[in-house]
Amino acid sequence: MTNPAAATDGTDAHAPDAAGGTADAPVPGPVEPDQNPSDEPSFADVFAEAFAPDEPEPPRDLSGHDVQVVLVSHDGARWLPRTLAGIAAQTRPVDRVVAVDTGSTDSSVAVLTGALGDDALRQVHPDTGFAAAVHAGVGPRAASATSATRSWIWVLHDDSVPAADALERLLTAADLAPSLAVVGPKVLGWDDSRRLLEVGVTISGSGRRETGLERREMDQGQHDGQHDVLAVGSAGALIRRDVWDDLGGFDPQLPLFREDVDLGWRANLAGHRVTVVTDAVVRHVEAAARGRRAEPVDADRARLTDRRSALYVLLANKPGVWLPLVWVRLVAGSLIRAAGFLVAKAPQDAVDELRAMDVLVQLRTLRRARAARATTATVRSSSIRELFPPPGRQARQAAEAFGGTVTTLLAATAPVSDRPGDVGVVESGPLDEGSDYEPDTFGRWLALARRPVVGLVLALLVVALAAWRSLFAGGSLLGGALLPAPDGSSDLWSTYTAAWHPISLGSATPSPPYLAVLAGFATVLLGKAGWAVAWLLVLAIPLSGLLAYIALGPLGVSRRLRVWASAAYALTPALLGGIAQGRLGTAALAVTVPLIGLAAWRTLGTPSRPGTWRATATLVLLLAVAEAFTPVVWLATLALAVAAGLTWVRDLTGRLRLLAVVVGPALLLVPWSGELLRHPSLVLLEAGTTVPAPVPRPWGTLFLSPGGVGAAPVLLGVGIVVAGLAAVLRIRDSRLVPTALMVAAVGFVLALVTATVTVTPPASAVTVPTYPGPALVLTTAGLIVAALGAARNARNRLTQQSLGWRQPATVVVAGLALLAPLGLGLWWVVRGADGPLHRGDAEVLPAFVAASSRQPDRVRTLVLQPFGGRLYYSVLRADDPRLGDAELQPPASSLRPLDDLVSQVASGSGVVAATDLGRYAIKFVLLPAPVDADLERTLDSVPGLIRVANPEGSSLWQVSGDIARMRLAGADGSTVATLPAGVVDADPAVPASPGDTVVLADRATGGWRAVDAGGTALTGSVRDGWAQQFLAPTTSGTMTLTYRDPVHTATLWLQLVLVVVTVVLALPGRRRDDEGEVDVDLDAVPADSRPGLAEVT
């Protein structure tokens, strides 16, 4: 079941992958003696020569030692010749060589027999573990050894080559210090002799095999000397035979990995010294650990074995007192690591990690192992404490590993490919490592500052800040479609997750998911929701410019063109108008579109580089963010996906990816996407309130102008349109131009639709025009990319052609195109970003009204605002309107009775009594400044409304009567008593009042539950067609009212799971950990051209 020849390598091992295939490579060279090239001596000759008696005398007499080599081989024919040659070349010749082969399927057996003869070879079952194989090689306890001779076992792997003087130096050290029981060499890389692999090993608290070396540490003699260590690697370990026998040798429970650590630990506990002698050198491939060895087909994975061994060694050797703690730590550690592997998208590793935990419960095996160790241990654990890595180092390593992961992620997400030459190549791999390790920091900054992108972003930032000049301070940011942000990100989160929204008459509408995106952003910004909104709007221009610049990298156009394109994109009239109108959706879309384009490009792939599912997941995430703000993107995605699926995505995988791109974001945005299905008109709206401001005719969309307040003069956008249309002439150049034009066309059609239709959102009774800005952002992006595609080789083309109409026309188009961002930027700075967006006081309710609304009566305020022949009203609870409230309003259809009541009361006709407002828990009627004098006079004359004050230019009335959110109503509907209530839930003390009803001034839904003091559920019903009521309890006591919506909760959890899964899928995979050595197929290179091996042969 194992691969014993390669034991005891690092714990960094992971499942072998493609690299294992190298074993199948043709094996030229000296494997078969009869195939040897004539210029190379056969191994038999070399071996025979090595054993010739004329070798130089060792400086110390080591004849009193008897060294038996135990060479374990498993499919090691690639390396065995060198290994055997190395053994043969020892300056202190070995006394015996015993080779143990564990069922090799290659020519290993032949090589071994050829070199050592049949007697020296023991063939064991392929399932034999490394420890057992060594045992087979060592044989039973040697009774024949004389007391005068000290017997040693020298363990070697088939892929480890000892230097010629290795044994001599090991033995010399042992001879000098008789207390040494295990002596190990310095282990260097196989083909890079400067690379340090081991100078003794130890084990960390988590079971990690620690070498104490940095990654890729070079051997410059820094670790040289003789050190006592916990253990030495089994490759080249010289073990005293009597100690081996006393300790029982390698623990056969350890099939692979860690048996060396285990033995060293036991030897140390038994009072022996384990020492590394760095003068002795062994070169090691670490084939099993590095996945270079072809595993047996039925073998378990190296990682699983590694973890099992790690857990076993720790649990078998740790002092008993600490055992429970160790056990708990290992369980927790395994779970965390498994989660980490999941995030790093190495699910197989995670499974291995979890499967390895079976060791933790194999109590009988552990007890036996501990009992065996107890018999040999003679010293206290604490005396060898210094042989273990200090705890601080582990923490530091963990931090470094985390930092490394983050760097990797960032490197993989930021597609900084700033080379002008890489036409059509999308580089998704890690950054060029060299650039990260520039030694000269100042030089790097200087180089960075010289990049055009820096100038671009700085210029855009200056433009944005200059335009923003009047909006930096003074109250909340609001106006246009933007409602003021709440105080903190927690408010946004709770609004997003709440099942019942206590606004107006209460609503169970699913929260718009852009709240969650903003909440996440605000959480990053130390919980400041206001900052999140302001930063999104301020940074929309520079950020979209930067991202556009990055995303345009793969197009391979010159930097100047990219700078123009990014500036033109960032200063598109749609975005400028959107910011002025406080449209978060347009701003968020402008920022995400470049990334969406990049991810879409990678999802679709190119002939040379097929699309990936990782890019698909990234695209789904980005689209979900964009659609959360501007659902119209979904329509564009659908149209473009259908177009792509019908034209050039022909394969099934590609079409599946397209399907995922269409369906995925909708699934991620559940439960809100269900709301979209129910009210399809919402697709044309975007985040924020619906602003019923007039929008000019659709002609403006021809010039990318969204219209409405704050829109740039229509003609400023002409340059981009002309440049994009000119690209039509180069439509046959590449696939890029038609693709980009397709995007532009879809955007244009959607812009026309949004500029033409009016919709009635479910939360509004008024028909409002839709804003074409988001669709125009798509159009702009498409036109700009098309123009870039056409301009790629324009200079060459034009200079090659004879002078005609093309050259001057190009100059005109280029001039117009250049003017667009300049003109728009200038206009934007002059106009400023404000209006209707502004900073102002977001307090609607006078302070004392807000305070009394927080009393247990939970009374509400009716705010009136006549405009355009309509009387707009809203019902405020204790809080002023905040971001998200527009989408969360209860359906307008459910407010019809209140519409009529408000309309009649405010008319002063006397048809209805103003006190009827009390049924909606409306205690105050507010006419905010500027007060409409007619309406004020009318309200003054309405019976039942008592003017209470004139706070700051507004007018306020109080509705007479007992008013509360929750009340006890008699059979005739009159209020018997008001009941104290919370914002949503309530637990008032209710007297026994059979026949009465408890009426809640909240809309009736299935989510309300009420139980009486005895725990009996009260019968609920709908009152007046809208309000929730319950039959009053028949016994006195505390009644409990709650709102629960399990479906909503479940959907939110589902959404969380889906988002996490998509994020994990979108994260770059764990970098393959083969950075150790360049994976050179040794046998593919002539042996004499490899300097590292020259001295061996």
Partner 1 sequence: MIRPVAVLGVVVVAALGSAGLAAVAAGSPRGPGVVAVHQVPVRETVVACPGLRSRTGYTDSSVAAGTPPVQGSAPSSGGTAMVRTLTENPAKSRPLIVLRAPGASGVYTGRNGEHDSVVGRAVGAMAPGFTVTQTERTVDGGGRGLATTACLPSGSDFWFVGAGTQVGQHSVLVLTNPEDASAIVDVGVYGRRGRFDSPAGTGVNVPARSRVEIPVPTLAPAQPVLALHVQVRSGRLSAAVTETDVHGFQPRGTDWIPATVEPDRALVVPGVPTVGKDRQSSVVLDVAAPRADATVDVKLITPDGTFIPLGGGQIDVRSGTVRQVNLTRALQGQPAALLVTSDTPVVVGAKVVLQRPGYFGDSMYLAATPPLLAPAVVPDNIATSDLTTRLILSAPANDVTVHLLAYDAAGHERTTDVTVASGTTTAVAVLPPTVKPGEPIKGLRYRRFGLVLTPQPGSGPLYAVRWQDEEGPRGPLVSALPLQRARLTVPVYPAAPTVVTGVLPAP
Interface residues for partner 1 in 948-977 (CB under 8 A)? 948-950, 960
Q: Is 904 in the site for partner 1 (CB under 8 A)?
A: yes
Interface with partner 1, residue 920, by CB under 8 A: no
For residues 1090 and 191, is the Cβ–Cβ distance under 8 A? yes
Maximum CA pair distance of the chain? Answer: 127
Q: Which of 1008, 1026, 864, 871 is nearest to 930 (CA)?
A: 864
Please identify, using beta-carbon distances, which residue of 169 and 501 lies nearer to partner 1: 501
Tell me how far, at minimum, the Cβ of 403 lies from partner 1, in Å.
Answer: 45
Three-point CA angle 412, 785, 749, nearest 5°: 115
Residues near 843 by beta carbon (within 8 Å), at least 6 away in sequence: 880
Segment near partner 1 (CB under 8 A), from 634-642, 762-770, 823-831, 1051-1059? 762-770
Nearer to partner 1, 946 or 1031 (CB): 946
Query: What is the footprint of partner 1 within residues 155-184 (CB under 8 A)?
Result: none
Provide CB contacts within 8 A for 559, sequence distance 6+: 418, 420, 452, 453
How far apart are alpha carbons 770 and 684 in whole angstroms? Answer: 6
Q: Where are the beta strands (DSSP E) in 379-495?
A: 476-478
DSSP category for residue 286? -
Which C-beta is closer to partner 1: that of 835 or that of 980? 835
Residue type at 561? L
Cβ proximity to partner 1: between 883 and 1039 the closer is 883
Question: Nearest-CA neighbor of 8 among 423, 290, 244, 325?
Answer: 290
Spatial distance between the Cα atoms of 800 and 130, rounded to a whole number of angstroms:
71
- Distance, CA of 793 to CA of 43 (rounded, Å): 62
Q: Which is nearer to partner 1, 421 or 694 (CB)?
A: 694
DSSP code, position 788? H
Instruction: Answer whether 286's CB lies under 8 Å from 197's CB.
Output: yes
| Number of residues engaging partner 1 in binding (CB under 8 A) | 91
The total number of residues shown for the chain amounts to 1097
For β-strands 997-1003 and 966-969, DSSP reports them as antiparallel
Instruction: Kindly tell me which residue out of 335, 431, 670, 768 binds partner 1, with binding defined by CB under 8 A.
Output: 768
CB of residue 573 to partner 1, shortest distance in Å: 16
Please tell me the distance from the alpha carbon of residue 185 to that of residue 915, in angstroms, as a whole number. Answer: 96
First to last CA, the chain: 33
Cα 697 from Cα 700, distance rounded (Å): 7
Q: Which is nearer to partner 1, 852 or 993 (CB)?
A: 852
CB of 842 to partner 1, least distance (A): 6
Q: Which is nearer to partner 1, 941 or 1089 (CB)?
A: 941
Could you say whether residue 789 binds partner 1 (CB under 8 A)?
Answer: no
Q: How far apart are CA 547 and CA 310, in angstroms?
A: 46
Nearer to partner 1 by C-beta: 114 or 573? 573
**Is the Cβ–Cβ distance between 959 and 945 less than 8 Å?**
yes
At 278, give phi and psi (nearest 5°): -80, -10
Q: How many CA atoms within 13 Å lie on the side-chain side of 246?
A: 20
**Subset of residues 643 to 702 that bind partner 1, contact rule: CB under 8 A:** 689, 691-699, 701-702
Measured distance CA(649)–CA(178) in Å, rounded: 74
729 binds partner 1 (CB under 8 A): yes
Task: Kindly state the smallest distance separating residue 755's Cβ from partner 1, in Å.
Answer: 6
* Residue whose pair of structure tokens reads 């080599």 in the numeric block: 69
Residue type, 306: D
**Could you say which residues in the range 1038-1077 bind partner 1, by CB under 8 A?**
none
* Near partner 1 in 862-891, by CB under 8 A: 863-876, 880-881, 885-886, 889
As given in the structure block, the two tokens for residue 706 are 């969204």
- Cβ at position 918, least distance to partner 1 in Å: 15
Among residue numbers 796 through 815, which ones bind partner 1 (CB under 8 A)?
A: none
910 makes contact with partner 1 (CB under 8 A): yes
Contact with partner 1 (CB under 8 A): which of 943, 953, 1006, 1086? 943
Q: What does the H/E/C string look like for 533-555?
A: HHHHHHHHHHHHHHHHHHHCHHH
Smallest separation (angstroms) from partner 1 to the CB of 796: 18
Given candidates 755, 922, 986, 1093, which one binds partner 1 under the rule CB under 8 A? Answer: 755
The sign of the CA dihedral 780, 786, 789, 792 is negative
Span of 50-58, 639-647, 674-682, 765-773 interacting with partner 1 by CB under 8 A: 765-773
Q: Residues 925, 956: contact at Cβ < 8 Å?
A: yes
Cα–Cα distance list, 719 to 463, 568, 702, 816, 818 (Å): 20, 9, 12, 4, 7
Please state the closest distance from residue 572 (CB atom) to partner 1, in A. Answer: 17
From 77-85, 296-304, 476-484, 648-656, span contacting partner 1 (CB under 8 A): 476-484
Q: Give the pairing type, strands 989-990 and 1037-1038.
A: antiparallel
Q: Which stretch binds partner 1 (CB under 8 A): 241-249, 354-362, 429-437, 745-753?
A: 745-753
Report in angstroms how near the CB of residue 931 gets to partner 1 at its nearest.
Answer: 11
Least Å distance, CB 998 to partner 1, is: 26
Q: In this complex, which beta carbon is closest to partner 1, that of residue 567 or of residue 711?
A: 711
Say if CB 140 and CB 255 are below 8 A apart. no
Residue from 371, 731, 989, 1054 touching partner 1 (CB under 8 A): that is 731
- CB-wise, 132 or 927, nearer to partner 1? 927
Among 120, 829, 892, 1059, binds partner 1 (CB under 8 A): 892
Least separation in angstroms between residue 521's CB and partner 1 is: 22
Tell which residue, 355, 264, 244, has the closest CA to residue 313: 264
> Given the complex with partner 1, which of 504 and 1055 has the nearer CB atom?
504
Q: Which stretch binds partner 1 (CB under 8 A): 270-278, 533-541, 942-950, 1072-1080?
A: 942-950
Site for partner 1 in 845-864 (CB under 8 A): 863-864
When binding is defined by CB under 8 A, the residue of 149, 417, 903, 1034 that contacts partner 1 is 903
The residue range among 101-109, 349-357, 623-631, 725-733 that interacts with partner 1, by the rule CB under 8 A, is: 725-733
Contacts to partner 1 from residues 384-423, by CB under 8 A: none
Query: Which residues, 6+ apart, have CB-to-CB distance to 785 below 8 Å?
Result: 552, 555, 565, 597, 736, 740, 743
Q: Which of 347-355, 657-665, 847-855, 895-903 is the region at the interface with partner 1 (rule: CB under 8 A)?
A: 895-903
Stretch that binds partner 1, among 52-60, 242-250, 328-336, 477-485 (CB under 8 A): 477-485
**Contact with partner 1 (CB under 8 A): which of 35, 105, 375, 767?**
767
Of 213 and 702, which has the nearer Cβ to partner 1?
Answer: 702
Q: In the bound complex, what is the minimum distance in angstroms from residue 718's beta carbon to partner 1?
A: 13
Q: Of residues 816-845, which lie at the interface with partner 1 (CB under 8 A)?
A: 836, 842, 844
For partner 1, the binding residue among 357, 753, 819, 1011 (CB under 8 A) is 753
The DSSP symbol for 712 reads: P
Degrees, nearest 5: CA angle 583-589-593: 160
- As measured in angstroms, the least distance from the Cβ of 537 to partner 1 is 16
Q: How far is the CB of 890 from partner 1 (least distance, A)?
A: 8
- What is the closest distance, in whole angstroms, from the C-beta atom of residue 558 to partner 1 in the complex? 23
